[in-house]
């Protein structure tokens, strides 16, 4: 029995109250429209998380305007929640902190983990809603254990996170840090559809955002070049760009403004160079050509692992994704011999093939048979 079967079974007895996150985009709008069509009692929710000006005005102003238009068309209320304090503490501060020490963070993952889901769920429960819904491309299944679970598994029904039908739009990579307590109260209505179908439904429902383009910027901040955003808090510190043999080929403006695998225009040759490492002590950016072995690795270590549906037995043969939309890679996950004071249960991932630009601060996410098992931060 799937989680949707259980919801619809209960729906026949009473209307289920759902707080639907409305971002001002087409996906969340269609998610809310589908729930209304299915008979749920839906109220919209808009989250205001960042009010600094990125361009002419804070991006939330236009997003809220579109969210209001969507709710007016659907005939539902829109509640506005101010999570800016928590967003700055848990996401913005984290982003600057990670870049300062040379890593490349993923604010979308942390926003889902610390802001979007836990805070909205807290408000939903306080106001008497049973579920929160979002426009994420993902699917949930409820597994009812037939016998007592073996190993470290949660008691009762076990919620599993599965990839969306639309493989290109799948967002489980950004959701892998969610836990059972959140997933038990979440709905992903568009997980069974592909993006063209969602667009078509938006037109059919007459939604005012049917043709609105997707935002590709920082979560809740807007479309701003990352360098421009970092300059708000991080001062440039110029240094040398060198090859592995220490030959100087150029100059950089500050290590935080570069990420592993990034192309840099230095050297004066025809073949481009790419960032392979950062020497923080010497303030040097180390680069190499695309075919350099320095750019490829067959293993990495991850920390702070979140297992969504219980800790599996290790070593674990599975598929791994190192960045959003990267094709899944065959790998084995095992206990790590690397010991670090700030690492919680570090694990080592050994890949079947060398991986390009494994980036500290990003996340490695584990999959098996379409299920997102969880993941952790790359060291």
Cβ contacts of 377 within 8 Å, gap of 6 or more: 302, 303, 304, 361, 362, 363
Annotation marks residue 111 as catalytic: yes
Residue 232 backbone dihedrals phi, psi, to 5 degrees: -65, -35
Around Cβ 137, how many Cβ atoms within 10 Å?
26
Q: Tokens for 232? A: 């708000």
Tokens of 325: 């939309």
Q: Give, as one character, the DSSP assignment of residue 305.
A: E
- Catalogue the long-range contacts made by 266-272 (C-beta closer than 8 Å, 24 or more residues apart): 266/241
Q: Is 227 helix (H, G, I), strand (E, B) or coil?
A: helix
Q: Round to whole Å and give the CA distance between 357 and 310.
A: 30
Cis peptide before 222 (omega within 30 of 0): no
Whether 219 sits among the annotated catalytic residues: the reply is: yes
Give long-range contacts, CB 8 A cutoff, 24+ apart: 248-251. Answer: 249/273, 249/287
Nearest one of 104, 172, 113 to 362, comparing CA atoms:
104
Burial class (CB in 10 A: 0-12, 13-18, 19+), 57: exposed
Take residue 176 and report the two structure tokens written for it: 């892998």
Q: Find out whether 184 and 168 touch, Cβ atoms under 8 Å.
A: no
Active-site residue identified among 59, 71, 111, 300: 111
CA distance 115 to 92: 11
Of these residues, 219, 300, 318, 372, which one is catalytic?
219
Alpha helices in the chain (DSSP H): 3-11, 26-37, 59-74, 84-87, 93-100, 107-111, 117-126, 172-175, 180-183, 195-205, 226-230
Query: What residues are annotated to the active site?
Result: 111, 219
């Amino acid at each position: 029995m799937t989680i949707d079967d259980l919801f619809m079974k209960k729906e026949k007895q009473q209307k289920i109250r759902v707080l639907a996150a409305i971002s001002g985009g087409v996906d969340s709008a269609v998610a809310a429209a589908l729930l209304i069509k299915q008979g749920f009692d839906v109220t919209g929710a808009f989250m205001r998380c960042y009010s600094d000006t990125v361009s002419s005005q804070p991006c939330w102003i236009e997003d809220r305007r579109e969210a209001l238009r969507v709710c007016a068309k659907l005939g539902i209320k829109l509640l506005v929640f101010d999570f800016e304090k928590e967003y700055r503490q848990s996401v913005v501060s984290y982003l600057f902190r990670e870049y300062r020490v040379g890593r490349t963070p993923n604010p979308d993952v942390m926003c889902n983990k610390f802001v979007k889901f836990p805070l909205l769920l807290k408000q939903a429960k306080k106001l008497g809603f049973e579920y929160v819904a979002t426009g994420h491309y993902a699917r949930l299944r409820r597994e009812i254990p037939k016998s007592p679970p073996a190993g470290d598994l949660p008691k009762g029904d076990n919620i599993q996170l599965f990839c969306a039908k639309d493989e290109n739009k799948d967002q489980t990579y950004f959701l892998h840090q969610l836990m059972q307590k959140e997933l038990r109260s979440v709905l992903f209505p568009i997980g069974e559809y592909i993006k063209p179908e969602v667009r078509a439904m938006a037109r059919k429902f007459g939604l005012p955002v049917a043709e609105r383009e997707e935002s590709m910027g920082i979560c809740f901040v807007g479309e701003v070049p990352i360098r421009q955003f970092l300059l708000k808090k991080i001062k440039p510190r110029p240094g040398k760009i060198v090859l592995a043999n220490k030959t100087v080929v150029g100059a950089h403006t500050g290590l935080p403004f570069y990420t592993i695998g990034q192309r840099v225009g230095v050297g004066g040759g025809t073949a481009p160079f790419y960032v392979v490492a950062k020497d923080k002590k010497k303030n040097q950016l180390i680069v190499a050509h695309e075919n350099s072995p320095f750019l490829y690795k067959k293993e990495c270590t991850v920390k702070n692992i979140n297992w969504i549906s219980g800790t599996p037995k290790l070593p674990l043969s599975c598929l791994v994704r190192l960045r959003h939309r990267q094709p899944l890679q065959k790998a084995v996950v095992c206990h790590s011999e690397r010991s670090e004071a700030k690492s919680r249960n570090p694990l080592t991932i050994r890949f079947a093939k060398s991986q390009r630009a494994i980036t500290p601060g990003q996340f490695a996410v584990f999959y098996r048979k379409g299920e997102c098992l969880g993941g952790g931060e790359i060291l």
